[in-house]
Structure 1
Amino acid sequence: MPQTKSPRSLFGELLDWMLAPLLVIWPVGVLLTWGVAQDLARRPYDRELGAAAQGLADQVQMRRDAQQALSLSAESLSLMRIEDDDQVLFQVLGPRGELLAGDARLALPVGVAPHSGPPLLRNEQLQGEALRVATLWRRASTDRPGWITIQVAETTGKRQRMASDIVKGVLLPQFVLLPLAALLGWLALVQGLRPLKALSERIRHREADDLSPIPEREAPEEILPLVRATNELLARREQAAQLQQQFLANAAHQLKTPLAGLRTQAELAGRALRSGQASAAELAQSFAQIANGSQRAAHMVNQLLALARADASAPLALEPVDLVDLARDVTQDFVPQALERRIDLGFDGPESPQLAVQGQRWQLVELLRNLVDNALRYTPRGGEVTVRVSEDPFGQVVVLQVEDSGPGIAPEARERVFQPFYRQLGTGVDGSGLGLTIAGQIAERHGTRIELDDARERRGPDTLPGARFTLRLPATPWPGGPGREA
């Protein structure tokens, strides 16, 4: 059984984003602090070590036999000790590298030629112990070549202790400050998210049918876009609920008439049969009226179901649809009805190339069937209805048109004809008033709309301008390339 993923906590994520940088930066800060502490601890002791080497160099004297001699006074020896808790070593080498005084274990600096100047400071290892060494050179004499090398070294114990004291002085307060910062961050998040929690509580305690907008003044600025989007959704849901209630009321009212007629005709036929006074012709007429009424009721129910399907909120399963083939098939289906009404029903479209669009085939069929049915209903006997499929000159749009020679639709009524149960007065046409509503909603689901205008110019009161319904859909390449399937 698959486990459902638990919802993410906004509080936890914000707290993580606050604490994670601290946990990452803190070790880096420790390393940087240790480096700075080492430098701070090294500087004063390096100055003392350099001064000791300089003082030792000042004790070197030239004797008359051209040999160097080293005499150390009590003051110089005190300088050499520097600190009692660190070991101090020194070394004096003659021009030929001979040991004049001190410890022979101290190594010379590598890759550095003798020169005059300030002491050279470096780190060394002696028998596994770290040393800090100061080296300087003095010329043997003014008239003889060669350099005297003077080195003073000390262990680094006091340096490390001083660096550790600096690090402790910096880091120990942080062990108190970091938990305190985490606690303050936690409290700040609790306080900052309190308005969001209060808002969610108010929404949770709403009634199921309460679709009123959420007051924006009660929401923090950061979630205003979410509140506004929610209010837009609530407004759409409220509008949909109102439309649904209106639709159900209209549907009940519209179905009441044919059902009442069926009941009346059935009662009259039954009464006539019981009395035995009705002729066969009268009974046949009553049964014919019952059949017509039931047919109208069934037609209305089918259109109500089609309207519900067209108004569904599920996304369309789009596929390439050959609009030429679809329009030709729908036109052929209405040929018997057109012949019965003596209407010239024609199809105008290309013969061989396919004009494909992205859509849902059954919905496009339903759209066209309603347009053709509407045209046949409003076209007088002897009139014309034409279904036309064409392509715009640039090949980007496929145009579907249904044109009739009926009375047309006045410009001020062209928006209302797509509303449920709307019918033009004075036409005497029987219908449910849902066909154009279904067609309009299917067009909207396909990202377009149905355009309505006159089929021909209005030249006088006796001229029937007709109506032209136009649907434009983006063209799409047919799978497998151009050409008709066999």
Structure 2
Amino acid sequence: MKSSSLQKRLGLGLTLGMTLLWLGGTVGAWLVVQHELNEAFDSALEETAQRILPLAVLEISNREAPREAQHIATLKMHKEYLTYLVRDAEGEILMQSHDANPKIFNKRPREGFSTTQKYRLYGASALRNTVFIEIAEPLNHRREAAREALFALLLPLLALIPICLLGTWLFVRISLRSVLAYRHAVEARGVGDLSPIKVTRLPAEIDPLADAVNHLLGRLRKALEAERSFTANSAHELRTPLAATLAQIQRLRHEAPEGPLQVRAAKIENSLRELARLSEKLMQLAKAEGGGLLSEAPQDLIPLLAHVVDEWNHSSGQRIALHLPSEASVYSAIDPDAFAILLRNLVENALKHGAADQPVEVSLTDQALLRVVNGGPPVPEAVLQHLTERFVRGNSEASGSGLGLAIAKTIVQGVGASMTLVSPATGRGEGFEVNVQFCKHAAR
């Protein structure tokens, strides 16, 4: 399962939380605003009724026919939000605003506030409950005012959400800068680098984890150093007694008469030679795992390659075909001794397991790609995937320890290069190919 970014989770979570809080605050503020608007509108209704009622009473009293209904003319045609009726106690209309609809009012006048399906009403009386006024206001007017107040509260949120997301993301990124630096420090570590990771100002929640990782690296480094030291010392200590024993068994072969004794001595000599080669391989493996694979200055690979191939041609009867790049120099940061060990193991593997009647092709390109190709039957895919493991050998009957490609892979990983195995070889129907892509450097 793919892990999610802490920065992403914090940014989205904080933004979502702030948005929900803002929405909750907006709803609460809107309810308060709606309540206050209703109070203000009700107060306006009551104040309007108390202002109009004395004027209406005076107008009715001065008429020649007080009981005759009268429409109040408007100075300018407009839509009235507030309409009113002035009636007597029996409900007869004495006066009404120009846009008033009697159907929306109560059948009998009443005092105080009342609400119908579409209107909010307020009634008041004068002259000892003989003249009544009722003022009606559409509820849509109030709802429209409430909606506008809600939109006024919500619209800033649309602009604040991206601003909040960006601000939260920047704040979290700045806060996690030391954690990101720690991650980059861990990712930049090479295969053989087990030194403590030093990153300052880590958060208090991450600092114990970093200390635990450094303690683990320290324990692992000590364990690996002990293992490498044991391997290297054992292989080194075996070289002298093996050489002495091999010399003695060779002398015994020459002094022994023809017969079973000489045959047994030859078998012992071959076994001792294999043991000596295994000891040499173990020393190479210890060097490959022990670091020191990178040089302080970039090295030209062409003379190193030519020198190692020349040595092998002298010992293998000119079976190696060397192809050098068109450039005069190809530089890489690998240590010369490590490059020699790498190349010797690849060439030895090709000579041992390749077809004896075909040359081994060794080439280096301008882009620092090393290729070692040998003939022979193709290697099955299932076997090819495990050839770089220790003590794993292919289907060849040739003798060997199964450490050559494992040593090569360890060196390649230690210098930050890449190695691929291909079978059949590129452009062929058979054979085996090893490609090592070094990091090319400019000459100093």
TM-score band, normalised by shorter chain: 0.3 to 0.5
Per the normalisation by structure 2, the TM-score is: 0.45
